[in-house]
Structure 1
Amino acid sequence: MFEKLFDPKLVSKLLVTIGDVSEVTGIPQRKLRYWEDKGIIQSSGQKDGSTRKFDYINIKKILLIKELLDEGYTLESSVKKVEERIEKLQLAFNKLQEKQNHSE
């Protein structure tokens, strides 16, 4: 069932325009640009004038931040909580990768 919810091939290739991210998340493009200017999220393409595109990790961050904002957290505290979650996930995945490498 998890395979239906998460397709690693799609996730690795996923790059979504700022307009699509705005439409799907309900967050105005203006706010997404503000978050990007503050270093909260990152896109590709804006430096050379092309369309901003967001990858899976940044879309996930946007959705998590929005969820926390909707629950009444400030932007600053939302960002901090999301960064902590991502860091914990990364540490867990790193440990799993080490364990897998040692068992091979």
Structure 2
Amino acid sequence: MQAGALFDKIQRFLGVEWIHTEEKAPVVAARESGPLLPPSAEELALLSRLVASGRVRNVVAEAVRMEETDPRLGPWIEQLRGLVRTYQLRKLQEFVDGYAAGTGLSGESA
């Protein structure tokens, strides 16, 4: 089964709506633009709960809000978006939890 057909069936049977966003910049460019500045511990905890519960749409909404509040988070948020965009939910959870634990995963490819 092709991925597109699978996503169509998931959308139809589960009633989900896929969020398509324009890619602003590749993740590699975001890394080169400066150090990754993660959100606060409270915001990381919120993102971790949202990812763990599968609320990806809310993760994206929170990321947008965080970036609007503090543009310095842009490179970190772009890495998060890259994981969301490619449906790498396990890596997304590891990425958020790694920063929440203070270890960070900036050396890992998205």
- When normalised by structure 2's length, the TM-score is 0.30
- When normalised by structure 1's length, the TM-score is 0.31
More strand by share: 1
Q: Structure with the greater relative contact order (CA < 8 A, sep ≥ 6): 1 or 2?
A: 2
